[in-house]
């Protein structure tokens, strides 16, 4: 009788496990797919070669085009390149991007956005509103050195 009572539990656990694994597989595919799609549309075959702290420092005060979740093209200006934690083999830094006045009424929410500049090409970055500088956004980078 104990064996019969455990069968429904086992089936439920297997179903839960299968759902979990399927969700993980879909999540991994969703992370990789946008990167491949972005690379396919880029004129530069290897835009990541230009992504570095020094590369962004050379672009101070440059305008980046940001595609919002609503499909609008917005302008963000690179205001600051901040040092990140030091780690062997990893270059970590952050960007402070200043938004235009029209973003004050409709600020961006923390999410992935497509950011474009002719020197860097198109890239997906996670932007979060800055707590210390009103109307600005922060993007963090951790690149293999």
Q: Which tens digit of pLDDT belongs to each residue from 5-47?
A: 555 666 655 566 666 665 555 555 455 444 444 444 444 444 5
- What do you get for the CA distance between the two ends of the chain, in Å? 61
pLDDT at position 141 is 94
- Report which of 81, 92, 96 is spatially closest to residue 142, judged by C-alpha positions: 92
What average pLDDT is seen over the chain? 79
pLDDT of residue 39: 45
Share of the chain above pLDDT 90, in %: 50
Q: What percent of the chain has pLDDT over 70?
A: 66
Q: What is the pLDDT of residue 111?
A: 95
R_g of the chain computed on alpha carbons: 21
């Amino acid at each position: 009788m104990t064996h019969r009572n455990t069968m429904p539990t086992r089936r439920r656990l297997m179903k839960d496990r299968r759902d979990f694994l399927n969700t993980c597989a879909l999540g991994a595919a969703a992370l990789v797919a946008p990167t491949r799609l972005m690379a396919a549309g880029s004129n530069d075959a290897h835009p990541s070669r230009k992504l570095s702290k020094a590369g962004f420092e050379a672009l101070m005060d440059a305008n980046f085009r940001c595609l919002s979740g609503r499909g609008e093209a917005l302008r963000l200006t690179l205001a600051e390149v901040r040092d990140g934690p030091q780690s062997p083999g990893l270059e970590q830094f952050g960007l402070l991007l200043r938004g235009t006045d029209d973003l004050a009424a409709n600020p961006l929410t923390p999410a992935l956005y497509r950011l474009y500049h002719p020197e860097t090409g198109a890239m997906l970055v996670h932007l979060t509103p800055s707590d210390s500088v009103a109307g600005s956004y922060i993007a963090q980078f951790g690149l293999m050195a």
